[in-house]
């Protein structure tokens, strides 16, 4: 099958492209930086470039859409241009090109209003209730994708939840780096149960979706390992696997929520006036300011909510539709993480059985 993968410069996108190529598919990738994947045709362009998108989808039979602006802060216009307008451009071009399978990668945050999610399925995306610009614009993008679903253009939406693994810079290495620096807090008791998804299982699920979408389409599915764990325990195990010490910093939840709100506002304000501030600073200080603002803020209200509320999902519908099961358990993933980073292997067994 001829398949376009967008956003293949990231860990998940590049891993999906590599797996598809290894399976014998003809793969084209579209992203702003080289994918680094052998055996694929790279198109270096933004999802907002209509001409490049049209070139990328020409002759394709299927699309896996992963390209997105992923950040906890930033200019709302940037999120809208990529996550909404870019998705609209890709959908239109894919329909015009005769693509008949479209797997759209979304996020559980599109249906998360900040409260605990306990054994939930995939609730409808709600841009009005979503927390932050990323979740809001991803919710709009998901709704656009589902609205395009038809018998001739079959759309299936996957929402991977808190993907992690070796080489993941969005979650895994942030936890490890901050734990090494003594800045990885456990909020409250750290007992809130959360679902996560190991990278190998995420790739397998997306490949399964390309087959499943032929017969099951027009819906969204949350994808996880189905092994909820206390967030404090899991973060500690990731930190130890990464070679860091056990996190000792504990912050009460109300204080973390308040601090996250303040940090967001200060971060956005500093980003807005960065050039003016940098012009008044000596070169080393200006460089440090730019480097700091280029990274994610140490805490936001959304992150505080994610680290202090339960969010785990019923996986029965997902597994039935995809005809898929995770093949790497949490403990097996932690063992692989420890082998990659030279840290400590896991010592705590899963707290709940897989599958729910």
Angle among Cα 254, 255, 259 to the nearest 5 degrees reads 120
Backbone angles phi, psi at 241, to 5 degrees: -65, -30
Q: What is the rounded distance in angstroms from the CA atom of residue 30 to the CA atom of residue 47?
A: 7
Check 134, 164, 302, 312 and give the catalytic one. Answer: 134
Q: What is the rounded distance in angstroms from the CA atom of residue 137 to the CA atom of residue 106?
A: 10
Q: What is the rounded distance in angstroms from the CA atom of residue 210 to the CA atom of residue 5?
A: 12
Active site residue 198: no
Contact of 345 with 334, CB cutoff 8 Å: yes
Angle among Cα 135, 140, 142 to the nearest 5 degrees reads 90
Backbone angles phi, psi at 269, to 5 degrees: -65, -45
HEC letters along 76-143: HHHHHHHHHHHHHHHHHHHHHCCCCEEEEECCHHHHCCCCCEEEECCCCCCCCCCCHHHHHHHHHHHH
Q: What residues are annotated to the active site?
A: 134
């Amino acid at each position: 099958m001829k398949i376009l993968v967008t956003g293949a410069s990231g860990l998940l996108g590049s891993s999906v492209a590599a797996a598809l190529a290894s399976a014998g598919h003809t793969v084209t990738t579209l992203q702003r930086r080289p994918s680094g994947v052998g055996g694929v045709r790279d198109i270096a362009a933004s999802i907002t470039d209509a001409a490049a998108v049209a070139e990328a989808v020409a002759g394709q039979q299927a699309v896996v859409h992963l390209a997105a602006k992923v950040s906890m802060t930033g200019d709302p216009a940037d999120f809208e241009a990529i996550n909404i307008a870019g998705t609209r451009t890709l959908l239109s071009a894919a329909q015009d090109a005769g693509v008949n399978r479209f797997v759209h990668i979304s996020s559980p945050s599109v249906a998360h209003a900040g409260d605990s999610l306990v054994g939930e399925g995939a609730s409808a995306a709600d841009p009005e209730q979503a927390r932050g610009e990323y979740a809001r614009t991803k919710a709009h993008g998901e709704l656009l994708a589902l609205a395009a679903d038809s018998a001739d253009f079959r759309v299936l939406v996957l929402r991977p939840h808190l993907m992690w693994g070796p080489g993941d810079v969005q979650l895994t290495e942030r936890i490890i780096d901050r734990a090494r620096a003594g800045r990885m807090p456990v909020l409250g008791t750290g007992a809130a149960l959360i679902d996560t998804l190991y990278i190998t299982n995420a790739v397998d699920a997306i490949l399964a979706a390309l087959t499943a979408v032929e017969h099951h389409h027009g819906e969204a599915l949350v994808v996880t390992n189905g092994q909820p764990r206390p967030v404090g325990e899991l973060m500690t195990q990731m930190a130890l696997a990464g070679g860091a010490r056990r996190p000792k910093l504990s912050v009460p939840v109300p204080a973390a929520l308040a601090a996250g709100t303040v940090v967001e506002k200060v971060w956005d304000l500093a980003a807005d006036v960065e050039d003016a501030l940098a012009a008044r600073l000596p070169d080393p200080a200006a460089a440090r300011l730019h480097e700091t603002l280029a990274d994610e803020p140490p805490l936001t209200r959304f992150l505080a909510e994610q680290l202090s509320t339960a969010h785990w999902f019923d996986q029965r519908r997902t597994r039935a539709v995809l005809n898929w099961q995770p093949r790497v358990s949490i403990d097996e993933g932690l063992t692989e993480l420890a082998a990659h980073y030279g840290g400590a292997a896991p010592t705590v067994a899963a707290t709940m059985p897989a599958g729910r």
